[in-house]
A and B are shown apart, each in its own frame.
Chain A
Amino acid sequence: MLDATPRDKVYERTALVSNPCKTCQPVGALYAALGVHKTMPHSHGSQGCAAFHRMFLTRHFKEPAMASTSAFTEGASVFGGGANLKTAVRNVFDVYDADMIAVHTTCLSETIGDDLHAFISDMDIPDGKRVIYANTPSYVGSHITGFSSMAAAFIDHLAEKSGKPSGKLVVVPGYVNPGDVRELKDYLGEFGIKYTMLPDVSDVMDSPMTGTFELFPKGGTPIEEVVATGDAAYLLALGSWASAACANALKRKHDVDNRVLDTPIGVAATDEWVMALSKFASSPVPAAIEVQRGQLIDCMLDVHQYLDGKRVAIAGDPDIVIGLTAFALECGLVPAYVITGTPGGGFEERITALLEQYNLVDKCWVKSEADYFELHQRIIQQPVDLLLGPSLFKQIAKAEDIPLVRAGFPIIDRYVHPYQPIVGYRGALRLLEAMSNAILDRQDRDCNDEDLEFVM
């Protein structure tokens, strides 16, 4: 496995990306759009884009992922895609009866300079229907940027202020799984907070088996709730890469104050989330949440002797990787390599600040805009005990015989995970179980017969 990776030294590259740790903006925009009810994500580009993105999401969620396409031809790429978009919008409303079409651009439509604002302004849109768009050039940022842009586009295009405050909290969960969104909702429910989750992929990408196929499953933020965010009291954005743009948009447009928190992965970040909710609700932390925290700390103590000092490599999307790194440090693990493929945003500084709290800065190689090939080369030079990240780690895990705990996106070779959280105390408990099992299983597998322990 991965025999092609040179083992003698790390080859420096400046032009060639090998085994990328990111993908392009449109798929993120598509995922965000699936989180608004009865909305058809629409890819304004070649038909392959929509096919790839749907495949990508289906491989992770094991669920259908709907999106329509402008199906660019040679003609459209020369004369512009306006006519294609017009036909597409008519067809999507006619055939699929969507309430809204959320258009995102692609590298192609951006490069040829399609003006979506002008196209959409010129259209006859049926009464009660809406068409919004986000610019998501594939050659800037990553899928996380695309998610962030579409989340902000919901606000830019839809949010209105009626003048009657709703008292609601808007929560922007970031690029996470439906299981995470459910977990966040549980917290909001415990506090009795009235909220709008935007986007909300629960009951969309984890919809139950009913024997019928729903083109638009029951979940997703209702469009009227998105519209009403202009009346909200406050906004909490989780994960600055995926969610800050949405928070800024609502502040700019309707002066709704906000706070951008880290994705609540691990103890400290979840504490922050809980305290922010407590402050918003002006109420103490509910007992049920206190218990969950106590159970997590209890288990972390139980298992800490097996995790302490173990070296871990972490990869994935920036908001998730920051959370995973923080939790790894809390458990006594030593992050040896921490990478993301997504450029910008001060990723390296954030990770370094976390490491500083544990005096581990010089033990760790941190890089944004990195790829798995380089990570593999470095792991060859100095191995680790554990890999923590998406399925894209799999080949390295096999090649170097290192256990892999799957977390983040995409996880395309395992099942059930989208239904489960990694956020909150229970999410951390789940991660803790997976990480300690991986390390203990490895110890059982590798130890001599006489060293096999019944009780661990």
Chain B
Amino acid sequence: MPAVILKERQASITRGGAGSGAGSGAGGGGCGLGGAAGTGQGQPSGAGIACEQASVAGSVSQRACVFCGARVVLNPITDAFHIVHGPIGCASYTWDIRGSMSSSGELYRHSFSTDMGETDVVFGGERKLARAIDEAVAAHHPPLIFVYATCIAGVIGDDVAAVCKAAEQRHQIRCIPVQAPGFSGHKAIGYRLAGDALMRLFGGQACPREKAHGINFLGDFNLAGEQWIIRNYLKELGIEVLTGITGDSRYETLMRAPQAALNIVQCAGSMHNLARRMHDELGIPWISVSFYGVEDTADSLLRLAEAYGGAQAAARARALCHRERERLAPVLKRYRRRLGGRRAAIYVGGGFKAISLIRQFRELGMETVMVGTQTGRPEDYEVIRSIVSPDCVVLDDANPAELERFMIEGGADILVGGVKERPLAYKLGVAFCDHNHERKHPLAGFVGVQNFAEEINASMNSPVWSYV
């Protein structure tokens, strides 16, 4: 029996073809989406899909909360102390949550919490938080502390900002509150809060203001060391990266961020707001990039070189891209033979990655039959719908039943997703590639193209499938 699609969910499910249909667009009559689509809550403006909304109550959402969004963005700051102010769960679930790698410290791979108990809930947790900060400073002397207030800290009225301010004065370090109760929106709101926390850091006394050569790399989290690969390309172009934001960053590197001449923004979903604020308040222009897939990587390097490095950098970029394309051509040809004509489904966190993945599958001769994101923005969906085929299902904040239905309908051979999607795919007899925190190899840059092809080939053509 095909899964039932909730009425409230219908506006968040559409198909390829930009601008088609007013607000709903769910095409094929047989799929049962067309009828009531458009009656759902909160019609989007023009993009044809309802997104950036709260999940429907009763859904098995694959989507995380505001706290999670803030934590995943800030967590890769390697020498910061991340204290979760709330009951223990939120700290336990985010202990070393990402595969973001560090070239120096490891403090970020710990999990710290005030572990609020019943008495704290009744009498307030401010004093415990202050003590926790003191204990952290005594044992670790961190230069920077983030305090994440989770669901109930605000509800019981803890003044986390005041505790942090007092701690800054007491210890002469930066202690930045991140008010991230899970109920205050969805994961993308958490991304914005993380950006605001960073702006607060940049606004401190210690930040130099004079401009320097170099750029900031926003929206890369150095998963599996991906940022190091891109940094090497940029080095070859003669472009210095002052800091990743936040991949492999430290307090010291972040403090140089306001001096940058340019921001490059990869994961726009998580970093759009920060990029805009850095532009408006610090005068740093930004360009969007994506280092996934041959085309997007080459395009990003060339645009960056032209925007920032001048003619010499552009020439180097062209040479680099030519060299890498040549190197990759036989590899891609080999994999196209093995993968061409097969079908892919994509369910990832944000829009930029989905867009790059669609193109990347096309480079391998594969068609995308379903694409969804947890927190894509209307403009992302507009691009997605314009580059997929009209039969491709496009959906926002999907649940497992919907993923199952559209993967089966589309005849997907592989799903690209995150931790919760992996076993679902396997149960359906569909191969899988983790393009999230648990990715096994770097998937960025030209090297990543090869790794990606190898990984999806290994999963799709595993001998185990013959026994299913």
Interface window among A48-56, A225-233, A239-247, A306-314: A48-56
CA distance A213 to B406 in the complex (A): 13
Number of interface residues of B (CB under 8 A): 82
What per-residue 1/0 map shows which CB atoms of A298-323 lie under 8 Å from chain B? 00000000000000000000000000
CA distance A193 to B129 in the complex (A): 53
A17: chain B residues within 8 A (beta carbon): 88, 91, 112-115
Please determine whether A18 and B58 come into contact, CB atoms closer than 8 angstroms: no
B66: chain A residues within 8 A (beta carbon): 46, 48
Which B residues between 421 and 449 are near A, CB-CB below 8 angstroms? 422-424, 426-429
Which B residues between 385 and 431 are near A, CB-CB below 8 angstroms? 400-401, 404, 419-420, 422-424, 426-429
Query: Which of B8, B62, B96, B155 meets A51, CB within 8 Å?
Result: B62
A19 at interface by CB-CB < 8 Å? yes
What per-residue 1/0 map shows which CB atoms of B132-169 lie under 8 Å from chain A? 10111011100000000011100110000000000000
Which B residues between 172 and 189 are near A, CB-CB below 8 angstroms? 181-187
A66: chain B residues within 8 A (beta carbon): 60, 400
Given contacts A55-B420, A111-B156, contact A16 B112 (CB under 8 A): yes
Q: Which residue of B lies closest to A62 (CB)?
A: B423
Given contacts A16-B114, A72-B182, contact A51 B428 (CB under 8 A): no
B87 at interface by CB-CB < 8 Å? yes
Query: Which of A19, A64, A213 meets B420, CB within 8 Å?
Result: A64
Please determine whether B6 and A94 come into contact, CB atoms closer than 8 angstroms: yes
A212: chain B residues within 8 A (beta carbon): 427-428
What per-residue 1/0 map shows which CB atoms of B90-119 lie under 8 Å from chain A? 111111100000000111011111111110
Please determine whether B61 and A85 come into contact, CB atoms closer than 8 angstroms: no
CA distance A85 to B87 in the complex (A): 23
Min CB distance, A78 to chain B, in Å?
9
A138: chain B residues within 8 A (beta carbon): 87-89
A106: chain B residues within 8 A (beta carbon): 151
Which A residues between 202 and 242 are near B, CB-CB below 8 angstroms? 209-215
Interface window among B49-57, B218-226, B322-330: B49-57
Q: Which residue of A lies closest to B142 (CB)?
A: A4
Please determine whether A15 and B114 come into contact, CB atoms closer than 8 angstroms: yes
A53: chain B residues within 8 A (beta carbon): 93
Query: Which of A137, A215, A373 meets B400, CB within 8 Å?
Result: A215
Please determine whether B182 and A108 come into contact, CB atoms closer than 8 angstroms: yes
B93: chain A residues within 8 A (beta carbon): 23, 52-53, 55-56
What per-residue 1/0 map shows which CB atoms of A414-436 lie under 8 Å from chain B? 00000000000000000000000
Query: Which of A47, A61, A77, A142 meets B61, CB within 8 Å?
Result: A47
B27 at interface by CB-CB < 8 Å? no
B106: chain A residues within 8 A (beta carbon): 1-4
Report which residue of A46, A54, A90, A92 has the largest number of chain B beta carbons within 10 angstroms of its beta carbon. A46
B59 at interface by CB-CB < 8 Å? yes
| Residues of chain B at the chain A interface (Cβ within 8 Å) | 3-6, 8, 54-68, 83, 86-96, 105-107, 109-118, 120-121, 128-129, 131-132, 134-136, 138-140, 150-152, 155-156, 181-187, 400-401, 404, 419-420, 422-424, 426-429, 468
A–B complex contacts, Cβ < 8 Å, 7 sampled: A47-B63, A47-B64, A51-B64, A62-B422, A68-B60, A209-B468, A213-B427
